[in-house]
Each structure stands twice: as C-alpha cells, then as structure tokens.
Homo-oligomer: A and B are copies of this chain.
C-alpha cells in the first residue's frame, strides 16, 4: 500500500472582513516592482465597487475580470497566460483568484501554466506538471466547490473534461471571508452548496474512504444538513459555516474521490456546457440506486428551498451525443472505482449510463 502525501494549503486566514488584510498578506510575496500581482476577478463584481475598491493594486498590478458563465476551459487558461505574459514587464509575483470555483480553478491553472510550457490541455491528468506554480492565492466568494483547498483545477479541454491534479496546484494562501458571499443569488447558493453536500456523500459512501476523509466528510455533511434542512441558523452563522463545510468537503476528497454524480455530471458539462453545481444536482436527483438515503435528503432540500431543477436536458440528444457524454463519464475510472469498487465495469455499462442520462 502506498499512501498519498497530501499537499495542504500552507496558509489560511478565516474571518468576516479578513479580505481587508489582503495587502499585508501579499506584500512579503512581491518579487519586485516590475513583477505584478494579477487579480483574476469574477465579472459579476464588475459593478461592485465595494469589492473592487478594496483590491490592493499598486505598481503594475492588474485586475482582469473573467467570466464564470461557462465552465473554465484550457483555451481560456492559455489566453489568460498569453495576455499576462504580453502585458507584464516580468513574470508575475502572484495570481489572486477572487470568485467561485470556476475563477479559483482558472487562477490555479494560470499560476501553473505561467511556469510550465505548452498548453494547459497537456497537463490534464495526474501529476503531469513539472515546475512549481507562481505564488497563488484563492479567495472564494461563494461556498461549496472546495476549489479553495483541492489539489486539482478542473478544466474542459478539446479532448476531455479533467483536472490538472498535481502537488503544485493547491493555493499558497487562502482567504476565507464569509462576508464576500453576501451577494450570491439563492439558486446559485443552493447549487454550489449542494456541490459540497455531494462531495461529502460521494466521499463517505466510497470504497476509498479512510478515517482522514471520513472525519472531514462527516463535518461537511453535518453542516450541509444543518443549513439546508434544519434552517435554524442566522444568516451570518450559515454563511460562516458553509464556508467551512466547503473547505472540509474539499479536504475529504484528499484521500478519497468523488463518485457517480461527478462522473455523470462531467459528461453533461462536457457536451452541454452545464455548469458544475447545477449539473451535479440534475444528476444526483436520479441516483437513488447508488445513494438512497442521501438522494432522499437532497429531494427534501430541493422542496424546502423551492428549487426548480431543469428537466429533460437529454431529451433531444442524438446517439452520437450520448456516446460522447458516456465516453467522458466512463473515462473517469478512479471515480467509478471509488463509487462501486474495483469490479465496477460489470455494472457500469454504456447502456446503463444512457438509461440514467435519459431520466434527467
């Protein structure tokens, strides 16, 4: 047996208003005046002076708004890297991602690709990155994805939807400021929070589970139930706790893996561009067979929060479309092995997946 030596985020600051300490966190990491900090910021904040005015830019630092409308793409990473190289006097002092999972993943990928040759698509997989990334900081503005703590950065490339999984991927610094989630719309709050719930369910019910992942998974699972089912917390407490649940849900996957929902959701997302959070929800709603107790809980949460899940998303797809989705999903072998066990290929067939997709 060989165990993973898990890289953890080496610095974390937690607290309401901790975003205001960003300047003091960055200062010791500035290489020189010509080496800028690049702030990649979700473009929903374009008109939000309350956030952008507090971004501590100086010298040649740049603020680049990025769209999180679509799932992050390898081509988007390559374009950002090119833009940064062309417009900076020297290689950046650091990349700071401020946004949801998509922006955090872009920030991680850009930091890696600034120090590694070629296109991001060449690094989709496990441990393909050769050089240390540029110093990078993650500041989530919505809770649930676990991108702030994970050793992957999920990207859609020309050939696949797959993460850049590496020891160089995790952030060097994370700022957890629950005040930043204030403006999140309710639907998105639900879908992204469910990403965390589903992480914990898939980790806790997986064959890879150990005591490390279990303790983190249970913590995330418990908090999600407290927030989305019991509903007794104040708004502030719920924001604070969900930010921690997202963190713990991400930590839970360190020694474990996600499972059926993520595998199928990656297929949807690759073919249809479905965003990760909502994609997971569309899929998870039909997984009673795999996670009976937790799908029942999920359905209660959907009702409790008046969420209308999209229906019939696969109704008009061609055979070719199905083959593409199914190919993407079946390619994620570690996810199936975690969810079903080493003999997963006996039950998880293209026919089976097509039946599942047809329900959605």
Interface residues of A (CB under 8 A from B): 1-18, 21, 25, 173, 176, 178, 210-212, 214-216, 218-219, 222-223, 237, 240-241, 243-245, 248, 255
- For A25, what are the chain B residues with a Cβ–Cβ distance below 8 Å? 5
- For A245, what are the chain B residues with a Cβ–Cβ distance below 8 Å? 215
Cross-interface CB contact of A211 among B13, B216, B244, B255, cutoff 8 Å:
B244
Cross-interface CB contact of A10 among B1, B7, B219, cutoff 8 Å:
B7
- For A5, what are the chain B residues with a Cβ–Cβ distance below 8 Å? 11-13, 21, 25, 173
Identify the closest chain B residue to A9 (Cβ). B8
Q: List 17 A-B contacts (CB under 8 A).
A: A1-B16, A1-B17, A3-B15, A3-B18, A5-B12, A5-B13, A5-B25, A5-B173, A6-B11, A8-B8, A8-B10, A15-B212, A210-B240, A211-B241, A214-B241, A215-B244, A218-B222
A211 and B7 contacting across the interface, CB-CB below 8 Å: no
A243 and B6 contacting across the interface, CB-CB below 8 Å: no
Given contacts A6-B11, A176-B212, A218-B219, 9 further A-B pairs with CB under 8 A are A1-B15, A1-B16, A3-B21, A4-B13, A5-B12, A6-B13, A15-B210, A215-B244, A215-B245
Instruction: Say whether, besides A211-B178, A219-B219, A240-B211, A255 and B8 are in contact (CB < 8 Å).
Output: no
- For A215, what are the chain B residues with a Cβ–Cβ distance below 8 Å? 219, 223, 241, 244-245, 248
In order of increasing CB-CB distance, the 5 nearest A-B pairs are A211-B240, A3-B15, A10-B10, A14-B212, A215-B244
Instruction: Say whether, besides A6-B13, A10-B10, A14-B255, A237 and B219 are in contact (CB < 8 Å).
Output: no
Instruction: Say whether, besides A212-B176, A240-B210, A248-B215, A11 and B8 are in contact (CB < 8 Å).
Output: yes
Write the nearest CB–CB distance from A272 to chain B, whole angstroms.
Answer: 35
- For A173, what are the chain B residues with a Cβ–Cβ distance below 8 Å? 5
Cross-interface CB contact of A6 among B3, B12, B248, cutoff 8 Å:
B12
